[in-house]
Amino acid sequence: MTEKNNDVLVKANGLYKVFGRRTQEAVDKLRAGTPREELDGATAAVIDASFEVQRGEIFVVMGLSGSGKSTLIRMINGLHDATAGTLTIGDQEITTISDKALRAIRRDHISMVFQHFALLPHRTVADNVAYPLELQGVGKRERLDKANEILDLVGLGGWGEKFPSQLSGGMQQRVGIARALCADTDIMLMDEAFSALDPLIRREMQEQLLELQQKLHKTIIFITHDLNEAMFLGDRIAVMRDGRIVQVGSPEDILTDPANDYVEQFVQDVDRARVLTAGNVMEKPIAVVSSTAGPRTALKTMRDAFLSAVYVVDRDRKLLGTLEDRDALKLVRKGERSIQGAIKNDATTVNVDDVLMDLFIPAVESKLAVAVVDEAGKLVGVIPRMTLLAALGPGPGSTEEITLPAQPVPTTVIDQVLADSEDGRPVDSPATGHEEAR
């Protein structure tokens, strides 16, 4: 996900937008509980919308046709004034300012990417991209240099002298994105920006937007009716229905904890493998021992967990490898007090942010539940195969592990060895400093 600052750049509080007659009276009725279908002579497009957009995040507003999402984005860029409620951009409440001040905010702080590109056909690609700087009074040479720099960034270097009609749909939309980036505003609004593109080009544009976001950390408010697109792009998602925001949350929140039946039905066909991450489904690792532990401690841990191998970590929880029951038994029979020589550097690991789609091969190859590590290599969780499979279905996740290697050493054998080894104690002496890692 995109790294974000904690300050709020856009804040809506109780926003209403009503079209028609006696709009304030309609707001009063809506606040009193009147359904919007029963309003007389008025149409409520946005009803009591409240949300915050953090600086540097992609905030997706998702809903079906007629849900109010396009009206909401037009309120943010000042094309529609609010019937009631407040809307703040940065530290400026735009619902109460003059038209002149509003135009300045739209020019300097908000840029827009449209569904149908909205390029000027008589201008070159470079001139289209540089147009916001022209409105800001920037000199021609400076704005064209900036435009060509942005065109390189979006993969259109060398196309600046072409005209929009000479470009494909996907390339024209890149020009639209480049124009918004060239304005260098705090906020980018994207209204169904990719919905007019073919599916393959659309996916390519989504991926490029995320790549650009990794570099530029823009604040993006993205409107879409496509749930998979929302899940792929959004740091957070606001789901709209009949003018109301019914849930705001991360893609994982929306998918795993829908607020109501409407959202639950909406997400039932989402490709979970491309949304959920290892961190969303991982479990607390129990088959873990410290590298300072002895072989009898390792065997006891395996026996208690009904497993035939354990993960080995150092004192900082950094994953070192695995230890199998047969190797631990050999150490016990030899009278060894350390497992250091038997640790195998063969642990199958995934990153906490890896999506489930990328975990299938590691899960098949791993003799243990797949180890989940953070950026420092510390073991933060495990994912058994059954948990991985259950996470892809509509039902609750399973905690059953199916991680035993073929033909594990029988528990009775382990018990006998532990009983027969040095004075029969099942765990290593505290005097050796060997402790199980918990």
pLDDT in tens, 148-176: 999 998 888 989 899 999 988 888 988 99
Q: Where does a domain end: 271, 294, 315?
A: 271
Cβ within 8 Å of residue 71, ≥6 positions away: 17, 45, 46, 80
pLDDT in tens, 345-361: 989 999 998 988 889 88
Segments forming the whole domain that contains residue 26: 8-271
| Domains held by the chain: number | 2
- What is the pLDDT, as a whole number, of residue 393? 64
State mean pLDDT over 22-38.
93
Position 175 in a domain = yes
Residues 260 and 284 both lie in one domain: no
- What is the pLDDT, as a whole number, of residue 67? 92
Q: Where does a domain end: 245, 271, 297?
A: 271
Residues 154 and 255 both lie in one domain: yes
User: How is the beta sheet containing 236-241 ordered, strand by strand?
Assistant: 110-113, 187-191, 219-224, 58-62, 236-241, 244-249
Query: Cα 232–234–239 angle (5° rounding)?
Result: 105
Q: Where does a domain end: 253, 271, 289?
A: 271
Residues 260 and 383 both lie in one domain: no
- What is the pLDDT, as a whole number, of residue 29? 94
Measured CA to CA, the distance from residue 259 to residue 60 in angstroms comes to 17
- What is the pLDDT, as a whole number, of residue 413? 60
Closest Cα to residue 224, out of 194, 267, 269, 179? 194
Q: How far apart are the first and last CA of the chain?
A: 30
Percentage of the chain lying above the pLDDT 90 cut: 48
Measured CA to CA, the distance from residue 110 to residue 285 in angstroms comes to 47
> Of 379 and 385, which is predicted with more confidence?
379
Measured CA to CA, the distance from residue 323 to residue 336 in angstroms comes to 14
- What is the pLDDT, as a whole number, of residue 410? 61
For 239, other C-beta atoms within 10 Å of its C-beta total: 26
pLDDT in tens, 364-381: 888 889 999 998 999 999
Give the dihedral of Cα atoms 392, 393, 394, 400; nearest 10 deg.
-100
Residues 245 and 291 both lie in one domain: no
Measured CA to CA, the distance from residue 288 to residue 323 in angstroms comes to 10
State mean pLDDT over 222-240.
92
Position 380 in a domain = yes
State mean pLDDT over 382-392.
84
pLDDT score of 316 more than 90: yes
Position 3 in a domain = no
Position 438 in a domain = no
State mean pLDDT over 221-243.
93
pLDDT in tens, 82-130: 999 999 998 889 988 888 888 888 888 898 888 777 888 899 999 999 9
> Of 80 and 4, which is predicted with more confidence?
80
Percentage of the chain lying above the pLDDT 70 cut: 88
pLDDT in tens, 60-69: 999 988 899 9
Q: For residue 234, which amino acid is it?
A: G
Residue count (the chain): 438
pLDDT in tens, 185-210: 889 999 988 888 888 888 888 988 99
Q: How confident is the model at residue 49 (pLDDT cuts 50, 70, 90)?
A: very high
pLDDT score of 313 more than 80: yes
Cβ within 8 Å of residue 316, ≥6 positions away: 378
Residues 69 and 201 both lie in one domain: yes
- What is the pLDDT, as a whole number, of residue 108? 84
Residues 59 and 126 both lie in one domain: yes
Give the CATH number of the domain where residue 327 resides. 3.10.580.10
- What is the pLDDT, as a whole number, of residue 6? 56
pLDDT in tens, 80-95: 999 999 999 988 899 8
Tell me if 398 sits within 8 A of 386, measured CB to CB: yes
pLDDT in tens, 257-298: 899 999 988 888 787 887 888 998 899 988 899 999 999 999
Give the CATH number of the domain where residue 78 resides. 3.40.50.300
